[in-house]
Chain A
Amino acid sequence: MSSEAQRHFDVLVIGGGPAGMAAAARAAECGVRVGIVDDNFRLGGQIWRGESDAARSDHERSNVSQNTEASRWADRLRASGATALCGLRVVHQPDLGVLLAENLDGFCELTYDKLVLATGARERFLPFPGWTLLNVMGAGGLQAMVKCGLPIQGKRVVVAGTGPLLLAVASYLRQHDAEIPVICEQASWKSLAKFGLTLFSWPQKIIQGIELKRDLAGVSFAANSWPLAAHGQKTLESVTISRAGKNQNIPCDYLACGFHLVPNVELPLLLGCAVSNGCVQVDDLQTTTVPSIFCAGEPTSIGGVELALIEGQIAGLAAARRGFEAKALFGKRQKARRFGRLLDRTLRLRSELRSLSLPDTIVCRCEDVSYSRLRQHGSWRAAKLHTRCGMGPCQGRVCGPATQFLFNWNADSVRPPVFPARVETLAAITGRSQLQHDDATGGRS
């Protein structure tokens, strides 16, 4: 991409996961010019990562069942005529209706009439002793690495944390011949049983559950269980887990550990969209509090791929001024949202997890800020000012949700750029405001 390039789209979609793909496809099918941008090198988001990858090895092709829904949407998006821009991340909004994005080669400006934010979610990480060791990764994190070529055959992987992602990841790793000594789920059997009973309202989820059960036959699943500490010199060697009240040490090569998901709301916040309880607020047509900006999928509430596809379609239609066609999807959306709320209730983090961090456990990995240093402060802001917590390159994306759980801090303030950007990119912002200043003064300043 040449520097200083500018591209205009009637509808610009940020995020190439299920919600973004559905939004872009539906909008482009209405005949408007659509662009879809993703930070990753391919569309599909985290959940569909590598699903339509032609470069996949024969071994993998025979082992991994093709996700038909993923390829259906990929085909539909391709046929819709939307322009996909991968490996490109939005860092700043220099002006209303203008976004500045950069890739490995340079930067560009993207302008739009309507914007759809489909920025997805990330895993919630909770700090415990040893969680910074090599080969301790997120559950989705390790899966992403394996999808990107990490050999896992014959490796021992403890899967721990909370949420349905743990089962999906364990099943995926097993299909790739990893050994899973145990899956630790922090939720209680009681809440899981309650959840299981209510699943009868969602037949599709039952089918998915049965498939997972088949894939995970023989793997031990422990509720009321969580990791206490990871051990190793530099690289992980074993994990101590609390399993139904008893401590147990398990030798392993990897720990795949994540505590459900957190919406990515940094870009929506930067653009002025109202966020409440960590989720972007939207109306019936997925419109945010900024009238030209829509939001779909996990940023509006963690609800899974089905909800993301429905919300994405509604947002795409609404952004293409065909909101009236979206009304047919409202009922399905309501039902899918109920599932998300049910998950939230089931997976509520137990208070014992607050005491996983010891005084010297690092909470902010970018700046190496320990639990004991953070505990002295009363707010996220005070902690940032005094300890540099959340001021490193991840900008609090990892430690923010952790401190929210540990200390009840509200870590949802953002400053541009929303991702670390190169000096040339930042210079473009300065250059832009200088141009505007020259225009206003006739270049006489």
Chain B
Amino acid sequence: MPNQITVTVNGTPVLVPSGATVAVAMVLVGQVCRTSVSGEPRGPLCGMGICFECRVAIGGVSHCRSCQVLCEQGMQVTTEN
């Protein structure tokens, strides 16, 4: 098994493989990254930092593209809606 680390998504601890992005953690835990202006749940689309659909708050910094950020032990991720 690869090394695993723990991040927290909306207060829930999630075990992810080291080297995983925050977007992967969001899909693994089944969390919606954001709610669209008309109320639809949204998650990663492009996987490469273009579409901004996977944006979340990381360590209190809002509007981070979760696909462009690697998980770090103890990282606090929150969704913004």
Question: Bound pair: A and B?
Answer: yes
Residue positions of A touching B, CB distance < 8 A:
39-41, 46, 53, 55-59, 87, 89, 104, 122-123, 125, 132, 134-138, 140-145, 148-151, 234-235, 362, 365-368, 392-394, 397-398, 420
Q: Which residue of A lies closest to B18 (CB)?
A: A55
Q: Output the least CB separation between B43 and chain A (Å).
A: 4
| 12 cross-chain CB contacts under 8 A | A56-B19, A125-B45, A132-B42, A134-B41, A144-B48, A144-B67, A149-B17, A234-B41, A365-B36, A365-B51, A368-B36, A398-B51
Q: Number of B residues contacting the other chain (C-beta, 8 Å)?
A: 40
CB distance A122 to B20 under 8 Å?
Answer: no
A234 and B33 CA atoms in complex are apart in Å by 12
Q: How far does the Cβ of B7 sit from chain A's closest Cβ, in whole Å?
A: 12
Cβ B67 vs Cβ A145 within 8 A: yes
Among A56, A145, A234, A367, the residue within 8 A (CB) of B24 is: A145
Contact A134 B47 (CB under 8 A): no
Is the beta-carbon distance between B46 and A138 smaller than 8 angstroms? Answer: yes
Task: Give every chain B residue within 8 A of A143 (Cβ-Cβ).
Answer: 47
Q: Which of B19, B24, B30 has the most CB of A within 10 A?
A: B19
Residue from B19, B23, B37, B51 having most chain A Cβ neighbours under 10 A:
B51
B44 touches A141 (CB 8 A): yes
Is the CB of B11 closer than 8 A to any CB of chain A?
no
Q: How far is the CA of A290 from the CA of B6 in the complex (A)?
A: 48
Tell me how many residue pairs across A and B have CB atoms closer than 8 Å: 118
Q: Which B residues are CB-close (under 8 A) to A123?
A: 46
Are A368 and B38 neighbours in the complex by a CB distance under 8 Å? yes
B63 touches A138 (CB 8 A): no
Interface contact A148-B24, CB-CB below 8 Å: yes
Chain B CB within 10 Å — which of A125, A144, A235 has the most? A144
Contact B68 A140 (CB under 8 A): no
B51 touches A148 (CB 8 A): no
State the CA gap A144–B51 with chains docked (Å). 14
Bound state CA distance, A55 and B71, in angstroms? 13
A140, B40: Cβ atoms under 8 Å?
no
Pick from B32, B64, B68, B69: contact of A134, CB under 8 Å:
B32
A39 to B61, CA, bound (A): 17
Which residues in window 5-55 of B have CB below 8 A to A? 16-21, 23-24, 27-28, 30, 32, 36-38, 40-53, 55
- A398 to B38 alpha-carbon distance, docked (Å): 18
Identify the B interface with A (CB < 8 A).
1-2, 16-21, 23-24, 27-28, 30, 32, 36-38, 40-53, 55, 58, 61, 63-64, 67-70
Residues B24 and A150 in contact, CB atoms below 8 Å apart: yes
Contacts A134-B43, A150-B28, A368-B37; is A57 near B2 (CB within 8 Å)?
yes
Whether the pair B52, A137 counts as a contact (CB closer than 8 A) is no
CB distance from B9 to the nearest CB of A (A): 15
Q: Which 6 A-B pairs give the minimum distances between C-beta atoms?
A: A149-B20, A144-B47, A141-B47, A393-B52, A57-B2, A368-B38
Q: Contact: B45 with A148, CB < 8 Å? A: no
State how many angstroms separate the Cβ of A210 from the closest Cβ of chain B. 28
A225–B3 alpha-carbon span in the complex (Å): 41
Contact present for B23 and A148 (CB under 8 Å):
yes
User: With A40-B48, A150-B27 in contact, do A365 and B42 touch (Cβ < 8 Å)?
Assistant: yes
Report chain A residues within 8 Å CB of B17.
Answer: 57, 149
Most central of B19, B28, B46 by chain A CB within 10 Å: B46
Q: What's the nearest-Cβ distance from chain A to residue B36, in Å?
A: 5
State the CA gap A235–B69 with chains docked (Å): 23
A40-B68, A132-B36, A234-B41 known; A55 vs B19 contact (CB < 8 Å)? yes
Asked if B32 and A122 make an inter-chain contact with CB atoms under 8 angstroms apart, the answer reads no
Chain A residues near B28 (CB, 8 Å)? Answer: 150-151
A150-B28, A368-B40, A393-B63 are contacts. A141–B46 as well, Cβ < 8 Å?
A: yes
Cα-based distance from A163 to B52 in the complex (angstroms): 24
Closest Cβ of chain B to A3, distance in Å, is: 14
Q: Kindly list chain B residues whose C-beta atoms are within 8 Å of the C-beta of A55.
A: 2, 18-19
Q: List the B side residues contacting A87 at CB < 8 Å.
A: 68
Known: A132-B36, A137-B45. A394 touches B23 (CB 8 A): no
Contacts of A392 in B (CB 8 A): 52
Q: Which residues of B contact A151 (CB under 8 A)?
A: 28
